[in-house]
Amino acid sequence: MPLKVPSIPPDYHRFLRDFYTEAFAGILVNWFRESHTPEEKENTIAYLSQFVMTSLPAVLRQNGK
């Protein structure tokens, strides 16, 4: 089922875009700087998926018009 995206203020949209971009970029940079086992990488991917699938829809619902 597609997510109904409410209208959010442009400044909040920029904040969310920057927040998620920096979070993912930081994790990717960390992967290149430090060695991680395949299991650790799989766990990180699972955690990120869960985080985005639960947090982003909730934030959009809470702050949408």
Write down the domain spans for the chain: 10-63
pTM: 0.69
**Helices 38-63/10-33 angle, 10° precision:** 170
Within 10 angstroms of residue 23's Cβ, the number of other Cβ atoms is 13
Name the token pair of 24.
Answer: 């993912």
In degrees and rounded to multiples of 5, residue 60 shows phi and psi of: -65, -40
Q: Are 16 and 63 in contact (CB under 8 A)?
A: no
Q: Which pLDDT tens digit goes with each residue over 7-65?
A: 888 898 899 999 999 999 999 898 889 888 889 989 989 999 999 899 988 888 887 66
**DSSP H or E stretch at residue 62:** helix 38-63
